[in-house]
């Protein structure tokens, strides 16, 4: 059977050695190192794995308990993602990181039933920010609706506080992921008086000729991109071909990595994207990463993605997972925590500037705290811009806050509809 073969493959990729399974903390990775979206999946998986390896090699695990890593290949395919979940759900997984909005939507009811926490950092179902309904799903430090609002707030600051009469095109991956920002951008269009054009691109996104003909004909003032994988460099190349001003082309944080701009060469110069964290190796933690992981040959993959945007994002996700596990151990007074205990740690997580500095990541991400009413963190993001001459991303703003009041109203409406459809009574978990 297909699932049996997948489970066997999964078991063969386990990275554990030494302690028995009962003596470890299991952090699975639902990765995609193959398929049309592998260019984005590989560096994230590498960063996630390398940080967990660092915690094992330098600290001896979390609270004295070693970390056990496993990896299951989804190829960014929803069916395979569900199969991966089925293969690990009984193996005490502390937190799931699906790295796919489609997989996330399928796993939300399953993880609720099984009592397994899920972290969808900057992706997934936005209304999971309401912890009274989505007790087991967390999307801190920011979600899609936050990102859309931050982009509009940035454009407002660039236009003396008014977008009246402007035309903004949303070029989106024609999937649940790509359609997520449409409600937010539509509401904000009514508020700020800009015209919104929505232009879908079918997966994987290599064919965009007609979309850019439309953009050339409509002549929008700005293009906002919600892309992933090969769609991103294709779009940036098309924009360069029609000489669209790159400084007016802004991607979500999943459209702002080295993989998106390097293939376009000098044509990508000036392109902008959201940033939910810092990037590069100019952080103290990389001294330890070099000593304990890279120099010892224990890094994941080929080791050539270290410090890139998506490697940094995977490392960031792992850091937040480790800190939540520490919080769970503190709350429950035990080192060998369960998935339910891990959920408590995530629900009470607090990331301060002081903590990030202690971890060797000063000013890397926003300070935030999690509560039942807000599983989504602060929602803040920065704007970064690509310098093709230097081959690097430069942050050009400080943290920009979204319109959280509007977003929480939208999230409340959507989450309560989900609760009604599933005969749930919203309530905080103790």
C-alpha distances in Å from residue 285, one per residue of 61, 62, 200, 420: 16, 17, 40, 45
- More confident: 282 or 9: 282
Q: Indicate if the alpha-carbon torsion angle 97, 100, 105, 110 is positive or negative.
A: negative
DSSP notation for 22-76: GGSEEEEEEE--SSTTHHHHHHHHHHHHHHHHHHHHHHSSBTTB-EEEEEEE-TT
**What's the average model confidence in pLDDT over 382-398?**
97
Judging by DSSP bridges, how do beta strands 222-226 and 167-173 pair with one another?
A: parallel
Judging by DSSP bridges, how do beta strands 368-369 and 350-351 pair with one another?
A: antiparallel
Beta-carbon contacts of 155 under 8 Å, excluding residues fewer than 6 positions away, are 163, 166, 168, 222, 250
pLDDT at 22: 57
Model confidence pLDDT, tens digit, residues 91-130? 999 999 999 999 999 999 999 999 999 999 999 999 999 9
Give the residue carrying structure tokens 């792992």: 318
CATH 3.40.50.2300 describes domain 24-142+282-378:
yes
pLDDT at 21: 54
Phi and psi dihedrals of 371, rounded to 5? -145, 165
- 141, 365 Cβ separation under 8 angstroms: yes
Counted residue by residue, the chain has a size of 430
Closest CA to 248 of 350, 385, 400: 385
CATH of domain 144-275+381-408: 3.40.50.2300
Model confidence pLDDT, tens digit, residues 353-378? 999 999 999 999 999 999 999 999 99
- CA 15, chain centre distance (Å): 23
Listed in order, strand segments (DSSP E) in 184-339 are 195-201, 222-226, 249-251, 272-275
Distance CA 218, CA 127 (A): 32
Domain with CATH 3.40.50.2300 in the chain: 24-142+282-378, 144-275+381-408
pLDDT at 324: 98
pLDDT for 408 beyond 70: yes
Buried b (16+ CB within 10 A) or exposed e, 70-82: bbbbbbbbbebbb
- CA 171, chain centre distance (Å): 19
Give the residue carrying structure tokens 């399928």: 106
- 264, 237 Cβ separation under 8 angstroms: yes
Distance CA 29, CA 40 (A): 14
pLDDT at 18: 44
Distance CA 389, CA 226 (A): 25
């Amino acid at each position: 059977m297909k699932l049996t073969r997948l489970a066997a493959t999964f078991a063969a990729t386990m990275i554990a050695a030494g302690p028995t399974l009962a003596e470890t903390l299991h952090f699975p990775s639902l990765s995609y190192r193959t398929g049309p979206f592998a260019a984005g999946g590989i560096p994230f998986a590498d960063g996630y794995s390398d940080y967990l390896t660092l915690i094992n090699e330098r600290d001896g695990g979390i609270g004295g308990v070693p970390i056990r890593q496993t990896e299951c290949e989804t190829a960014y395919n929803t069916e395979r993602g569900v199969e991966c979940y089925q293969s690990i759900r009984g193996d005490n997984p502390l937190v799931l990181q699906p790295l796919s909005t489609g997989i996330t939507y399928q796993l939300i009811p399953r993880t609720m039933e099984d009592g397994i926490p899920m972290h969808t950092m900057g992706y997934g179902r936005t209304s999971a920010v309401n912890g009274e309904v989505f007790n087991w799903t967390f999307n801190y430090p920011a979600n899609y609706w936050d990102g859309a609002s931050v982009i509009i707030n940035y454009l407002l600051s660039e236009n003396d506080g008014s977008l009246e009469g402007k035309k903004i095109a949303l070029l989106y991956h024609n999937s649940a992921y790509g359609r997520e920002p449409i409600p937010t951008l539509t509401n904000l269009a009514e508020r700020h008086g800009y015209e919104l054009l929505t232009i879908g691109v079918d997966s994987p996104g290599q064919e965009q000729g007609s979309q850019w003909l439309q953009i050339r004909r409509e002549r929008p003032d700005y293009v906002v991109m919600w892309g992933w994988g090969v769609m991103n460099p294709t779009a940036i190349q098309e924009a360069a071909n029609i000489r669209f001003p790159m400084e007016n082309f802004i991607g979500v944080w999943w459209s702002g990595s080295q993989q998106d701009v390097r293939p376009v060469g000098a044509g990508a110069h000036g392109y902008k994207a959201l940033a939910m964290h810092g990037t590069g190796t100019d952080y103290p933690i990389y001294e330890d990463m070099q000593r304990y992981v890279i120099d010892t040959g224990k890094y994941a993959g080929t080791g050539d993605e270290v410090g890139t945007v998506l490697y940094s994002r995977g490392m960031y996700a792992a850091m937040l997972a480790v800190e939540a596990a520490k919080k769970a151990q503190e709350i429950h007074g035990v080192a060998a925590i369960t998935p339910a205990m891990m959920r408590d740690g995530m629900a009470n997580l607090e990331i301060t500037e002081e903590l990030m500095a202690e971890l060797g990541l000063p000013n890397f991400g926003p300070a935030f705290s999690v509560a039942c009413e807000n599983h989504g963190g602060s929602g803040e993001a920065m704007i970064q811009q690509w310098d093709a001459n230097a081959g690097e991303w430069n942050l050009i703003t400080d943290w920009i806050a979204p319109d959280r009041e509007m977003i929480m109203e939208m999230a409340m409406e959507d989450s309560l509809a989900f609760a009604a459809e599933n005969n749930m009574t919203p309530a905080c978990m103790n």
